Structure 1
Amino acid sequence: MSVTLRALLADPELRLTAHADAEALERPVSWVHVSELTDPTPFLAGGELLLTTGLALRPEECAEFVDRLTATGVAGLGFGIGLSHGAVPEALAAAADRAGLPLLEVPREIPFIALSKAVSRAIAAEEYAGLRRTSRAQHELAQAAGTSNGVAALVRKLATLLDAWVLLLDPAGTLLHAAPASAAACRESLIAEVDRLRAKQGLAASGISVGSREVSLQVLGSRVRGFLAVSREGPFATTDHHVINSAASLLTLALEQGDVLRSARRRLRAGFFWLLVHGESLRDAPGDLHAELPAEPMRVLVLHGQRDPDDLLQWLETEKPSAPMFLAEHDGAVVALAAEDDVGWLTSLELRIGISEPCALNEVAEGLRQARQAAGATRRHGGVVRFGELAGGGLLRLVPEDEARAFSESMLAPLRGHDVLRRSLQEWLTQHGQWDPAASRLGVHRHTLRNRMGKVEALLGRGLDQPGVRAELWLALQVLDRPAE
């Protein structure tokens, strides 16, 4: 607790007399300064107890003298009597009372240095107590970090030490731990500030107010391992900030170690999936990896998104449902093995996804091939493509849009401006070259249709009796009839 004017008054060796109300005596004293200048404010920083004998102070200057001290923010004024003045000047006492400036009367036999020593000893004792408190807190935090669930224990211990609520958030701002549990409801009020700190891309901290509470919020780690928020009624002392910083360092280390473990586990999953694809024995693989496999039959999914595979995999691992789902990185993409019921969660995400047909565990290699082919079709259209849909989409799905349209426009260029001939050609091809059905659909006589087809052959310079020509014309008409992308 800070040194106050009341504490100095309570020291019997100083024998001070107060000319101030009780509330004003609670002001903390940062230091003691002695000056006989009529304007000592250039040498003051605020919070000091200014001591003077009033050697150069005239009665008419008292009000201005007090106003300057008040504006500077001094804690109080100590006036030594028995030298320049036998008692505190009435004008000075009145001005101090009017301005609310605490005035302490210092008897002649008490040297000013006695007050300086008293304040210095109190400040030193306070700093030592703060160091001891910080040291004990750091020791308790380190002990908590060494427990089996160190991160959660650290959060709870910090909340106890500071009598505050504490939130630990992941890099996305999702709640990881809260102490007490009811503090979880406060997360929403911090999201805007979390987003602002994240945008700074590096170590950052801020102090904000939420209602009547002060909140200390800081980024954990230079690569944003998470966010630590600590809040309580009233301001944090310097020692409180030391404790918070110690907890932040320990949490950063714990989260970084967790990242190392998660990275190692991802490598294990990648190796496990490689064994599945290559049909190798899985007897020596960790049992908990087997537990992540869904029941057969399962689907193989290949996922692509805006994030790089490592970030995408980390995000999916955090967000995935509790049901068994195997996630791994393979050949620069994220792959998943999921039951049909859980595929819907993945397809609800804004990702490009290829999905295989149902397969058994020993058929994962074929499932991966199918999922890759389906994922390849998403490069043009995005979204989700199932392998079974590829055949339904026809050959046109496999041809790049710009190349297909250029070929079609070139091939059908001779029919440009001959809409009747083009429509007749399309109907005739639709009816597999049968004259009567095509003529009936067009509402013309079959001889009329034969004449039209003769004109088409002449314009195109190609015979319609060749199967290859018919196939190319049909594809060209299909391409030009679909909307351009």
Structure 2
Amino acid sequence: MPPTLASLVRHPGLKLSVLAGEDRLETPVRWAHVSELADPVPYMDGGELLLITAMQIEADDPEEMSRYVRRLVGAGVVGLGFALGVNYAEVPPALATAAKEEGLPLLGVPRRTPFIAISKAVSAAIAADQYRAVTAGFEAQRELTRAAIGAEGPAALLARLAAHVDGWAALYDVSGAVVAAAPDWAARRAARLTADVERLRSRPGPASIVVGGGRGPAGATGAEPAEDTAVADRVELQSLGTGRRTRGVLAVGTGAPLGTAERYAVHSAVALLTLTTERSRALQEAEQRLGAAVLRMLLAGEPDHARAVAGRLYGGLLDAPFRMLVAEVPSGGTAQQAHAAPSGADGAPAEIPTDATTTAAGEAEAADPLGTLIDTMEAAAARIGESVLVVPDGERLIVLAPDGGAAVAACAEHAQAVEARRGTKARPRDRAAVAALRGDELVIGLSAPAGPIAAAAAYRQAEQALSVARRRGRMLVEHERMAAGSVLPLLADDAVRAFADGMLRALHEHDATGRGDLVASLRAWLSRHGQWDAAAADLGVHRHTLRYRMRRVEEILGRSLDDPDVRMELWLALKATAPGTST
């Protein structure tokens, strides 16, 4: 504890007496300062015990003393020491009255006690308090280190940290989810800080923010605080990780600002948790190399060898249906960029209208989309003990995840959130154009459920879905939904549209002269599968008129409508140019 006025009064060598402000003697003293100025306020920093002999002030003037004491209180002076038997035998009544009225502690200093003795006592007490804080900090570091390398890992470390700071502590993973907290009730408190954690994660590390002001108790003694006081604590959020990318967040809640010893403990916890994070990353990189070998064996049709190499590393991932995911950033952002910020594209980008709201999550996704996807899927899988196989493959990322599991669900939710920020209400071809201009948007293809024997087929499905996602300007396309949906959205492609326009141009030019409606007649005839009477009825013309028009179509195009390939191409051309195709 730092020195207080009470501890100075109790000091046997100073012999100080209390003349006013008896109820405020527990106030900490930051320093003892001597000043005989009539207005020493410009030289005060707050928290001082001011020592005077009243050489330069009118100590007998009540109005002057009232103004003098009021200025001291306003400057944060915590006490006034008056030398007895120097200029005044006793404290002047005007000064004593002013001190009592303002609540400023007034101490009598006997003549045999020099001011320097008080300064030395304050200095020695401050030094002793700092030494205790450093010693306690080292002891906390040792305890936290033992906890960190123990079997319980971060959970034990958080419990020790919460005890040291007399508060609570929580750990968030890379996605911002609470993975551990101490005491147990702190998990509910930590969950209410999700927005603040997201704000911290959007900043380059290392970073920290303070939430709240410490107006209420933190409840660290083991009992959960009441709802109205739990939100009044002071919470420090510290980012974890050695690079600019945040790998986790530590939250520490207390009822008051941290002292020196508590600060040592928090810094030690940050260092230990960062080491744990970096060690996990090294193991993860080794696991990815092993995963790449397992994937190569699966794609080569050697599932038994793949199981033998994987061992128990991926749990039951290869024993149940899984999904194959292939992701890439068209501009060339690689999966290795999950650990580094990508460089910007050359040249000024084209200005693209968008209604996406800039958020912390959006900024993180834009800076490192592949890394954000990895973090999202792995964090979701880790929370339920699910195994996933993640393999960076050049400019791509390949993931094997359990069908119907948390990782696949997290990927779908992430894609929905990102597409909402991108603004997916535009037409598909407009979205594709936007993606092409930006050149840095993540696209994902997801296969249908498969087993180890069908891994190669699942990879082809994921690549096909990825190709469709790229053409449509969508972030995620699932192969199953491609097969279950209509072929018409596939026609919303510039190459298909150019082919259709070229194939039908001569017919449109003929119709523009007013010599007949060949395009509408062709559409009606094809939609009725070549049935003359039904198509003619749709058009409101005689069947002989329709026969004449179809002969003109063959003459203009130089192709026979008896050829099924020609009929198929013409029908697709008509559908590709129909107004509803691009909506």
Q: Normalising by structure 1, what TM-score? A: 0.89
Letter of the 1:364 partner, please give it.
A
Partner of 2:353: none
The answer to whether the 8 Å contact 1:14/1:110 transfers is yes
> 1:134, 1:111 → 2: CA distance?
35
Aligned pair 1:220/2:240, yes or no?
Answer: yes
Tell me if the contact between 1:17 and 1:105 (Cα under 8 Å) persists in the aligned partners.
yes
Provide Cα deviations, 1:214-262, integer angstroms capped at 9, x if missing partner. Answer: 2222212343121111112233222211221111111111122122222
Residue 343 of structure 1 and its aligned partner are, at CA, apart by 9.7
Once the two structures are superposed, residues 320-341 of structure 1 have per-residue CA deviations (whole angstroms, 9 ceiling, x without a partner) of 3848664322631333253478
Match of 1:425 in 2: 522
| Aligned-pair CA distance for 1:82 | 1.2
Q: How does 1:265-414 map to 2 (within 5 A)?
A: 265-280=287-302, 281-282=305-306, 284-289=308-313, 291-295=315-319, 299-303=323-327, 308-320=369-381, 322=384, 326-329=388-391, 331=393, 332-339=396-403, 345=409, 348-351=412-415, 353-356=444-447, 359-381=450-472, 382=474, 383-386=476-479, 389=482, 401-414=493-506
Contact 2:446–2:461, Cα closer than 8 Å, also in 1:
yes
RMSD: 3.0
Indicate the residue corresponding to 1:452 in structure 2.
549
| 297-306 or 25-34: bigger deviation | 297-306
Distance 1:74 1:278, change over 3 A: same
Q: 1:254 aligns with which of 247, 255, 276?
A: 276
When residues 467 and 30 of structure 1 are mapped into structure 2, their CA distance, relative to the original with a 3 A threshold, is: closer
Tell me how far apart the structure 2 counterparts of residues 230 and 212 of structure 1 sit (CA, whole Å).
13
On the 8 A contact 1:294/1:325 being kept in 2, the answer is: no
Q: Which residue of 2 aligns with 1:94?
A: 97
Q: Do 2:378 and 2:407's aligned partners in 1 also have CA atoms closer than 8 Å?
A: no
Give the match for residue 133 of structure 1: 136
Q: Percent identity?
A: 42
- Superposed counterparts of 1:36-51, under 5 Å: 36-51=36-51
CA contact under 8 A between 2:291 and 2:310: conserved in structure 1?
A: no
Higher relative CO (Cα under 8 Å, sequence separation at least 6) belongs to 2
Deviation at 1:290, TM superposition (A): 5.2
> 1:159 & 1:89 partners in 2: Cα distance?
50
Q: TM-score, normalised by structure 2?
A: 0.75
Alpha-carbon shift at residue 409 of structure 1 (Å) = 2.1
- What pairs with 1:136-147 in structure 2 (closer than 5 Å)? 136-147=139-150
| Equivalence for 2:122 | 119
Task: Give the residue type in structure 2 aligned to 1:415.
Answer: L
Distance 1:80 1:199, change over 3 A: same
Query: 2: distance between equivalents of 1:343 and 1:212?
Result: 36
Amino acid at match of 2:546: L
What is the distance in 2 between the residues matched to 1:69 and 1:391?
A: 80
Q: In the alignment, which residue of structure 1 is the partner of 2:111?
A: 108
Q: Is the 8 A contact 2:376 2:411 kept in 1?
A: no
- Rounded to whole Å, the distance in 2 between the matches of 1:48 and 1:432 is 98
- TM-superposition CA deviations, 1:41-82 (whole Å, max 9, x none): 333222121112212322234333322322221121111111
Specify the SS of the correspondent of 1:285.
helix
Distance 1:103 1:378, change over 3 A: same
Bigger shift: residues 440-449 or 265-274:
440-449
Partner in structure 2 of residue 483 of structure 1? 581
Give matches, 1:118-267, under 5 Å.
Answer: 118-209=121-212, 211-221=231-241, 222-267=244-289
CA deviation after TM superposition for structure 1 residue 401, in Å: 1.4
Count of matched residue pairs: 484
Give the AA of the match of 1:174: A
SS at match of 1:152: helix
In 2 relative to 1, CA 356–250 (structure 1 residues): closer, same or farther, beyond 3 Å? closer
Deviations 1:7-60 (A, max 9, x none): 111123222111123322122111112222222333322212111221232223
